[in-house]
Amino acid sequence: MTIKVNVLVAVSVAVVVLGVSGCKIKKNEAASAKASGQLEIFFDSSDFNAEKVVADIWTPKVEPFMRDKANRFAEVQSALAKDARSAGPQYGYSENPAQNPYSFIVRLDGQVVDSNTKSRAAYIAVDTNGDGKSDAKVQLGPVIRGTALRDVLPFIPFSAFKNQIEYANVGRALNAHVYEAKLSKLDRDNLVGKHVSVTGAFVAPSAGAEILIAPSDVTIAGGQP
Amino acid sequence: MTFLKKLLLATATTALLAASPGFASAADLLAIITPSHDNPFFKSEAEGAKARAEALGYETIVLVHDDDANKQNELIDTAIARGAKAIILDNAGSDASVAAVQKAKDAKIPSFLIDREINATGIAVSQIVSNNYQGATLGAEFFVEQMGEKGTYVELVGREADINAGIRSKGYHDVIDQYPDMKMVSRQSANWSQTEAFAKMQSILQANPDIKGVISGNDTMAMGAWAALKAANRTDVILVGFDGSNDVRDSISEGGIKGTVLQPAYRQAEMAVEQADKYLKTGSTGVEEKQLMDCVLITADNAKKLETFAMKE
């Protein structure tokens, strides 16, 4: 009996593993380009696995944190427009405000008014207040710019890591994880006009610049598989 | 009270005063040690530290180690011998400098590191460094955008012993390698040097006459590469640097080099001095040892605001 159960478990695990690898989308990293005069001076340490760190905390910590701490986009947007200096501490988080800008967790609903899915850094532009104009760009990857998802999480401080590279790798791993887990599954065709719901993070934009959101979750009405 | 007792008491009080951290004498000395001032980045750093230290009432000695770990070692000895109260250091190598900083600590002289990390914590009091990785990804994202996400390019890397050369290169590649149509045809070190970059760029152009872009690990190499591109009538090549020097700013404003990434060197040096001052007066800086400062992308849109490694408000 016990043996049978174990076999069953083993078989189903194998099926799950096979299933996952079978439908795996092409990973978001090109083979490292070899060229003349190639230098090997990267500082990756093999004993630190950022992907595992992220995989371990994503469901139990990151997702609930993003859900619980998200402010309404319109509220943060208008606070930033009114007084960016005080909007930071009120709605955002910065590990060290003297040296790093504030980042914000928001949730927004709206209509896609523009999209660029030709670029590797694909995005949709979303109108959240019904005036037909874009209020924020939401990144769809596979290339996700910046490290906003990392920077809004107080439980991933720079001081917990040995150096910049490990800290950077965690930022990249968060972006890669959200692409693999969510964004790669979205239907990318004919997005303009569709309704979207987004939870995500952004770094305070410099004056006049657009808001660029790194999502932790995106739902496209009628666009889900 | 006997005379002797009075004298003893007075001596004790004086000793207490001298030892109390709040007591700053005019003779308090800060040693400021950086790489060679030939690179305006390090010059700006040293000037920022010196000006802030003098404004806070310190005397300063400004020394350069020329990226030579042995020389740095001698300069630390000099600082100890001169009785410096603290050392502001942009170090000569992240591994080689650990022992030098430890030596200062053993001599009870706290070190405040700027620009470059060392591979150890608990030895320096502060390590205030630019987020070179974040800056490099900003530069690379802009570079890829300017390239239209495709084409052949060259990377010029800094001095291999310098941790920031590796960090920036990794930041560049972590972005660029995500674009399969971006093709690197050459990757060479020009050791942060303008003349070396000029020579390397000339030979790279001979081997690869049709390159579309160059991404450089710093601005002095970018200036060298730009001179070579100009000489070859290839000012159509997309070039992006790193540091935010006034030279590259001027080139950007003239429509030459496309962009660079500002490291707030001047402010960083000032902050190190402020933290040293607070530490000497209170025994604590009140902040974490390792501190990362974000970099800023400089393009034709904001180049005018850049002046001597700082953005004007």
Q: List the domain boundaries for chain B.
A: 3-129+265-293, 132-262
Three-class DSSP category at A115: strand
Chain A residue with Cα closest to B177: A30
Q: How far apart are CA B183 and CA B207, in angstroms?
A: 15
Task: Give the pLDDT confidence score for residue A15 in this predicted structure.
Answer: 39
Task: Give the pLDDT confidence score for residue B11 in this predicted structure.
Answer: 45
Which of A32, A121, A206 comes nearest B177 by C-beta? A32
**Of B275, B277, B295, which Cα lies nearest the Cα of B287?**
B275
Mean of per-residue pLDDT scores for chain B: 91
Question: Has residue A9 been placed in a domain?
Answer: no
What's the distance, Cα to Cα, between the start and end of chain A in Å? 39
pLDDT exceeds cutoff 80 at A129: yes
Question: Has residue A22 been placed in a domain?
Answer: no
pLDDT in tens, A62-111: 999 999 999 999 999 999 999 989 999 999 999 888 788 999 999 999 99
Chain A residue with Cα closest to B185: A35
Residue A112's beta-bridge partner residues?
A: A126
Which of A43, A98, A167 comes nearest B163 by C-beta? A43
Q: Are A81 and A183 in contact (CB under 8 A)?
A: no
* ipTM score over 0.90, yes or no: no
Min CA distance, A15 vs chain B (Å)? 30
Q: The domain B3-129+265-293: what is its CATH number?
A: 3.40.50.2300
Chain B residue with Cα closest to A44: B170
Task: Give the pLDDT confidence score for residue A209 in this predicted structure.
Answer: 84
**Of A84, A93, A131, which Cα lies nearest the Cα of A111?**
A131
Q: Which residues in chain A are contacts of B127 at CB distance < 8 A?
A: none
pLDDT exceeds cutoff 60 at B202: yes
Question: Has residue A118 been placed in a domain?
Answer: yes
Question: Has residue A10 been placed in a domain?
Answer: no
- Percent with pLDDT over 90 in chain B: 79
Q: Do the Cβ atoms of B287 and A96 come within 8 Å?
A: yes
Task: Give the pLDDT confidence score for residue B121 in this predicted structure.
Answer: 87
Task: Give the pLDDT confidence score for residue A29 in this predicted structure.
Answer: 39
**Mutate which: A38, A48, A100, A163, vs B, most B CBs within 10 A:** A163
Question: Has residue A139 been placed in a domain?
Answer: yes
Task: Give the pLDDT confidence score for residue A45 in this predicted structure.
Answer: 54
pLDDT exceeds cutoff 60 at B294: yes
For chain A, the residue count is: 225
pLDDT in tens, A13-60: 443 434 333 333 334 433 343 444 444 444 455 578 899 999 999 999
Question: What are the strands, taking DSSP E only, across chain A?
Answer: 71-72, 92-93, 103-116, 121-127, 136-142, 195-203, 212-220
pLDDT in tens, A207-221: 778 999 999 999 998
Q: Do the Cβ atoms of A146 and B179 come within 8 Å?
A: no
Max Cα–Cα distance, chain A, nearest Å:
68
Q: Chain centroid to CA B295: how far?
A: 12
Mean pLDDT for B199-221 is 97
CA-CA distances (angstroms) from residue B302 to A112, A139, B313? 30, 24, 11
Task: Give residue B163's pLDDT band: very low, low, confident or very high (50, 70, 90).
Answer: confident
pLDDT exceeds cutoff 90 at B268: yes
Which of A41, A146, A168 comes nearest B165 by C-beta? A41
Residue A48 or residue B176, greater confidence? B176
**Mutate which: A164, A166, A183, vs B, most B CBs within 10 A:** A164
Task: Give the pLDDT confidence score for residue A160 in this predicted structure.
Answer: 82
Task: Give the pLDDT confidence score for residue B162 in this predicted structure.
Answer: 81
| Residue A91 structural domain | 49-220
Which of B133, B160, B189 comes nearest A165 by C-beta? B133
Task: Give the pLDDT confidence score for residue B257 in this predicted structure.
Answer: 98
pLDDT in tens, B8-26: 444 444 444 444 344 445 4
Which of B170, B292, B293 comes nearest A42 by C-beta? B170
Phi-psi region of B115 (alpha: psi -120 to 50; beta: other; left: phi over 0): left
Residues on chain A bordering chain B, Cβ-to-Cβ distance under 8 angstroms: 28-30, 32-33, 35-39, 41-44, 96, 98-101, 119-121, 142-143, 145-147, 158-159, 163-165, 167-168, 172, 206
Task: Give the pLDDT confidence score for residue A159 in this predicted structure.
Answer: 79
| Number of structural domains in chain A | 1
Task: Give the pLDDT confidence score for residue A222 in this predicted structure.
Answer: 63
pLDDT exceeds cutoff 70 at B27: no
Paired tokens of B86 = 């603290």
pLDDT in tens, A133-185: 999 999 999 999 999 999 999 999 887 887 788 888 999 999 999 999 999 99
Q: What's A155's domain CATH number?
A: 2.40.50.140
pLDDT exceeds cutoff 90 at B122: yes
Task: Give the pLDDT confidence score for residue B95 in this predicted structure.
Answer: 84
Mean pLDDT for B223-250 is 97
Q: The domain B132-262: what is its CATH number?
A: 3.40.50.2300
Q: How far apart are CA B225 and CA B221, in angstroms?
A: 6
